[in-house]
Chain A
Amino acid sequence: MYPHTHHELNKPILDVQRISVRYNGRLALEDVTFHLHAGERIAVVGPNGAGKSTLFKVVAGVLPPSTGEVNIFGSRPRSHVCIAYIPQRSQVDWNFPVSVADVVMMGRSAKLGLLNWPHKRDWEYVHRALEIVELSDLAQRQIGQLSGGQQQRMFIARALAQEAELMLMDEPLSGLDTPSQEGLLNLLDTLRNQNVTVMVATHDLDQATRHFDRIMLLNHRIIAFDVPQNVMHTDHLLQAYGGRLKIASGGTMLVDDCCPPES
Chain B
Amino acid sequence: MSFLLEPLQYEFMQRGMIAAILVGILCAVIGTYVVLRGMAFFGDALAHTILPGIALGYLLTGGAREPLFWWALGTAVVAALGIGAISKNSELKEDTAIGIIFAGMFALGIALISTVRSYAVDLSHFLFGDVLSVSTQSLWLILIFGLAVLLVVFALYKEFLTLSFDPILATTLRLPVGLLNNLLLALIAVTVAVSLQTVGVALMVAMLVTPAATAYLLTRRLFRMMLLAAVFASLSGVIGLYLSYYLSIASGAAIVLTATFFFLLAFVWKKVKERQ
- Chain A contact-residue range equals 35 or more
- The A contact surface, by secondary structure, is loop
Give the residues in chain B near A93, CB-CB below 8 Å: 165
**Neighbouring B residues of A87 by C-beta, 8 Å:** 166, 168
| Alpha-carbon distance A102/B164, docked complex (angstroms) | 13
Question: How many angstroms between the C-alpha atoms of A103 and B166 in the bound complex?
Answer: 10
* With contact pairs A97-B36, A102-B161, A114-B159 given, residues A144 and B220 touching in the complex (Cβ less than 8 Å): yes
Nearest Cβ distance between residue B270 and chain A, in whole angstroms?
A: 13
Binary interface encoding of chain B residues 213-246 relative to chain A, with 1 for a CB under 8 A from any of its CBs, else 0:
0001001111011000000000000000000000
Q: Helix, strand, loop or mixed for chain B's interface?
A: helix
Determine the distance from Cα of A157 to Cα of B57 in the docked complex, in whole angstroms. 54
Q: Which residue of A lies closest to B155 (CB)?
A: A115
A106 pairs with B172, CB closer than 8 A: no
* Candidates A3, A97, A106; contact of B158 at CB < 8 Å: A106
**B173 contacts A by Cβ under 8 Å:** yes
Whether A78 pairs with B166 at a CB distance below 8 angstroms is no
* B147 at interface by CB-CB < 8 Å: no
Encoded as 1 (CB less than 8 Å from any A CB) or 0, chain B from 128 to 169 comes to: 000000000000000000000000000111110110111011
| Known contacts A2-B174, A78-B174, A97-B36: A106-B220 contact under CB 8 Å | no
> Is A60 touching B168 in the complex (CB atoms < 8 A)?
yes
**A54 is an interface residue with CB less than 8 A from chain B:** no
Residue from the set A3, A110, A142 with the largest chain B CB neighbour count within 10 Å:
A110
Residues 92-127 of chain A, each 1 if its beta carbon lies under 8 Å from chain B, else 0: 110111110011011101101011011000000000
- With beta carbons under 8 angstroms apart, the residue of B166, B168, B175, B221 that contacts A97 is B221
B96 interface residue, CB < 8 Å from A? no
Closest to B177 in A: A62
Chain B: minimal CB distance from A120 (Å):
16
Q: B36, A96: Cβ atoms under 8 Å?
A: yes
* Bound: A81/B173 CA distance, A: 5
A68 at interface, CB cutoff 8 A: no
Cα distance A44–B175 when bound, in Å?
Answer: 28
Whether B172 lies near A62 (C-beta < 8 A) is yes
B171 at the interface (CB under 8 A from A): yes
- Whether a CB of chain B sits under 8 angstroms from the CB of A83 is yes
Find the residue from A98, A158, A162 having the highest chain B CB count within 10 A. A98
Whether a CB of chain B sits under 8 angstroms from the CB of A241 is: no
Chain A residues within an 8 Å CB radius of B219:
97
Given pairs A92-B166, A97-B222, A106-B161, 4 additional interface contacts (CB within 8 A): A98-B222, A102-B161, A102-B222, A112-B158
